[in-house]
Each structure stands twice: as structure tokens, then as C-alpha cells.
């Protein structure tokens, strides 16, 4: 079937809208007509990493309507409104215990640019295109997905739902599933992009007592306060750690870094109270330096997370429910 996609031909080229051929869905696949798609830093980072001359279709925050489903697909039918997220096998030991974002086949299913058998879902003017990104490649009018990476929410506004497939899921999931702060906790979020904002909104939904947003943009700090931050802090001020300790009565119980900047990660760890926890999601510099004496001496924990440890079928409906005006998570209704 002919469709259109935003195709990249190299790290320094613009996306171009091109006619492409999308394969028919196989028995275990689903064809989705995209209504909306988010754009994530991971799309741009992967675009920058592929060599010039490789035609590629990115996009991994798609939402749309099912046009057809293979004979082996259950629970999804033509006409269903769906949200697309990362792919997983659903049967390995990690998937079986609910840890789908750590699927043993995560790389092959999400970042190989092909189906697991090596075939392409999209063919362009120069032949097969690098596709199946996160099991979808949603920078297109149509995408091939599987039952494992399709969520069927009830009555969802697809424009709102699309970015919940990755960015919002990662930020909110890191708070809900990894850090798990309570009403008496204090959470510091470093970075006020989409992922950081989602973390702030999730903390507000959970009723966390103190939520500090640290960023460099005055406009985004203002927005952070609108969606749930109880305090905001310019990350460029001197003694960020000291300021955070003042705001959190000696140190934060939880911290979340979305920047990947080594100095910020170090500050985030130093700003924790004894027994505090720091979660990391950003793929910045490969190595960072932390004060190991501070970690050991105060029982602090640092851990990484993929997709906020979220199972999309569980978290995305929860986020959409929180987004509904009038719920406890009413700050989410102010998101932009």
C-alpha cells in the first residue's frame, strides 16, 4: 500500500515528505493510520547517529486508528483508537514478570531498523528504508505495529495521548514506578522539558508534599509551577545543592535527572538526604563522577530506568485518566 512518511537521509539533512510503500500487516501485526505523533529527543539522537545515505523513518510516539489487524491478533480490531509505545516480546523472563522495558529482545525489536527477521516495513525510492523504530516508525501516515506495543485506551483524545507513548510515560513512570515518593517526600526534578514536566505532574497526582523543579528557562520554570512544582530554581545559580537543601529541609528524599549532564547528575546525588534515591533517564555523557563517600556514608541510591519501568498497557490509561479534568491530578490538565 502506498503512503507517505517523513524520511531522513542523514544526520545533517532535513526530513522530507516522500511517497513510500508500506507492507501488508503479517498475521501478528497491525496496520495503524496515524492521527498524531510526538517527537522525542531519542528520534533526533538516533537520526544523528545513522550514516548519511541511509533513508530512515523515525517516530515512536504514535496514536491513530487501526485499519487492519492480522489473523493472529486478539483484542484489537479495525476502527479501534490506539496509542503506540515501545515494543517487547511479551514472553521472555523479564516481560513475564512485568519488566517489559527490559525485554531481552529490546534492541532487536526497537532499534534495529528492521523487523526481527531482517525485513523492512517501508520501501522508498532507493529501496528498503530503516524503519520499525520502536516497533512503529510513526513519522508517517501509516505504521505497522504489533499487539505488544499497542494500547487501546477508552475514548482517548489521540492528539493528547500520542506523547504518552514514550516521553510522558518515561517521566511519569520514573516517579510512579521507580522513585515512588509519598505525601511526606520531597522530589527534585532536574530539567523542565517534556520528561521533566511529566515527572512533576505525576508527583502532583501522587500528592507529593515538596516538588522542586530545576531548569534554565524562566518560561518553563513558570510552567512547572503551573503543573505542580511547589518550588522552582534556576539551575544557573551558585550553590544549587545548598539551595535545594534549604528548600527540602536538609536534602531531598528523591531526585530525578532528565539532563544527562555530568555536573547536574553529581549535584542531584549530593542534594539527596540520607537514604535518598536518584533516578536517571538521559543518555548524555557516558561517564559521570559522583562522590562515592557521600553515597556510602549516607546510604544513597542511584539507578537508571528505561521508559520509567512502565508497562504501557498499565501506565498510559492511568495517565489519560489523570489528565481528565476534575481528577486528583488536575494539574495535568494544564499541560501544553
For the 2-165 domain, the top CATH level (class) is alpha beta
**Domains of the chain, residue spans:** 2-165, 167-331
Listed residue (76, 98, 101, 96) closest to 86, CA to CA:
101
| pLDDT tier, 324 (very low <50, low <70, confident <90, very high otherwise) | confident
Correct CATH for 167-331 of 3.30.70.141, 3.40.50.720, 3.40.30.10, 3.40.50.300: 3.40.50.720
Tens digits of per-residue pLDDT, 41-78? 999 999 999 999 999 999 999 999 999 999 999 999 99
> How does DSSP assign 7-55, residue by residue?
EB-STTS--EEEEEEEPPP-TTEEEEEEEEE---HHHHHHHHHSPTT--
Tens digits of per-residue pLDDT, 261-314? 999 999 999 999 999 999 999 987 888 999 999 999 999 999 999 999 999 999
pTM of the predicted structure, to 2 decimals: 0.92
Amino acid at each position: 500500500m502506498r503512503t507517505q512518511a517523513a524520511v531522513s537521509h542523514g544526520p545533517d539533512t532535513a526530513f522530507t515528505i516522500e511517497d513510500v510503500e508500506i507492507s501488508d500487516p503479517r498475521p501478528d501485526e497491525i496496520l495503524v493510520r496515524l492521527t498524531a505523533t510526538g517527537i522525542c529527543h531519542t528520534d533526533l539522537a538516533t537520526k544523528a547517529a545513522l550514516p548519511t545515505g541511509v533513508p530512515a523513518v523515525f517516530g515512536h510516539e504514535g496514536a491513530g486508528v487501526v485499519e487492519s489487524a492480522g489473523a493472529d491478533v486478539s483484542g484489537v480490531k479495525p476502527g479501534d483508537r490506539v496509542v503506540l509505545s515501545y515494543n517487547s516480546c511479551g514472553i521472555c523472563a523479564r516481560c513475564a514478570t512485568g519488566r517489559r522495558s527490559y525485554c531481552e529482545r529490546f534492541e532487536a525489536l526497537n532499534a534495529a531498523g528492521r523487523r526481527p527477521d531482517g525485513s523492512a516495513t517501508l520501501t522508498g525510492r532507493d529501496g528498503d528504508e530503516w524503519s520499525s523504530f520502536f516497533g512503529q516508525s510513526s513519522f508517517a501516515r501509516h505504521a505497522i505495529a504489533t499487539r505488544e506495543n499497542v494500547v487501546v485506551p477508552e475514548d482517548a483524545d489521540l492528539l493528547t495521548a500520542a506523547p504518552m507513548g514514550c516521553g510522558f510515560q518515561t517521566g511519569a513512570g520514573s516517579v510512579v514506578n521507580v522513585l515512588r515518593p509519598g505525601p511526606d517526600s520531597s522530589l527534585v526534578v532536574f530539567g523542565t522539558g517534556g520528561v521533566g514536566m511529566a515527572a512533576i505532574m505525576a508527583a502532583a497526582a501522587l500528592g507529593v508534599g515538596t516538588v522542586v523543579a530545576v531548569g534554565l528557562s524562566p518560561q518553563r520554570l513558570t510552567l512547572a509551577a503551573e503543573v505542580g512544582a511547589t518550588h522552582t530554581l534556576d539551575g544557573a545559580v551558585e550553590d544549587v545543592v545548598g539551595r535545594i537543601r534549604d528548600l527540602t529541609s536538609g536534602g531531598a528524599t528523591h531526585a530525578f535527572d532528565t539532563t544527562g549532564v555530568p555536573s547536574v547528575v553529581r549535584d542531584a546525588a549530593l542534594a539527596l538526604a540520607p537514604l535518598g534515591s536518584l533516578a536517571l533517564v538521559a543518555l548524555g555523557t557516558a561517564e559521570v563522577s559522583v562522590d562515592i563517600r557521600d553515597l556510602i556514608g549516607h546510604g544513597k541510591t542511584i539507578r537508571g530506568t528505561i521508559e520509567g519501568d512502565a508497562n504501557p498497557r498499565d501506565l498510559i490509561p492511568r495517565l489519560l485518566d489523570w489528565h481528565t479534568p476534575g481528577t486528583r491530578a488536575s494539574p495535568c490538565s494544564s499541560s501544553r
